[in-house]
Amino acid sequence: MRMDEQELIERVKKGDEEAFSQLMMRYKDRVVNFLYQVTGDYQVAVDLSQETFLRVYFKARKYRPIAPLSSWIFSIAANLAKTERKKIFRRATISLEEINNDYSSGSYSLDHNDPGLMRNVRLALKKLHPRYRIPVILKDMEGFSQEEIARMMKLPVGTIKARISRGREYLRKWLEEGKEIKNRPDKREKMDIKLKRKKQESEDD
């Protein structure tokens, strides 16, 4: 009998490994695809997805049903991706053409009528700074609302809205016009950066 997600996570909290296995099977493909879109590296995505579900299992008791379970799982994955990106910058990445596109599901499958389209999209996403890439993928590919993404990333909804808008604009320019993605922060981003610096300075004092 198929259990609903809240019943599954409640059983996981009690250490039920069968419930955890069912939960992982429901989300594994989506989480791997999300992490692949963010990192551009399939093996890294697989490794991070395994770490994501380990944290889901061991931190299940911290989950509270005030937000959808999917939001909680993806927030864990997004935080791991943000940490990993620092390592990726120091690592030689795999060329997009060499990535095995066979592991894909849903809307992420390669369109064989236009095999260059998805490669171009992946390349554009890879060029996009993670501050824009993560919310764009969560919104346009995973279908989360701006409010859900804001909770996941612990940022104001206005900031998320601005990042999605700016990210989409960068992607459009690259895909339609071939223009280089500069990833310059907008006024809201600059204000966020200044506030973070002031906060850090006050904490240091």
Give the model confidence (pLDDT) of 37-54 as tens digits.
Answer: 888 888 889 999 999 999
Quick one: tokens of 58? 């061991």
In the DSSP assignment, the letter for residue 103 is S
Distance CA 172, CA 161 (A): 17
Domains and CATH numbers, the chain: 1-93 (1.10.1740.10), 110-205 (1.10.10.10)
* Candidate from 45-59, 98-112, 135-149, 162-176 with smallest mean pLDDT: 98-112
Cα separation, 73 vs 50, in Å, equals 12
Q: Using the predicted structure, report yes or no on whether residue 141 has a pLDDT greater than 90.
A: no
Please give the Cα distance from 31 to 138 (Å, whole number).
11
Residue 78: CB atoms within 10 A of its CB come to 22
Least confident of 61-75, 108-122, 163-177: 108-122
Query: Tens digits of per-residue pLDDT, 80-104?
Result: 988 887 665 444 333 333 333 333 3
- Position 172 scores a pLDDT of 83
pLDDT band with cut points at 50, 70 and 90 for residue 190: low
At residue 32, the pLDDT reads 94
Asked if residue 189 lies in contact with residue 108, where contact means CB atoms within 8 angstroms, the answer is no
Distance CA 190, CA 150 (A): 18
Give residue 195's pLDDT.
Answer: 64
Q: 3-state DSSP call for residue 182?
A: coil
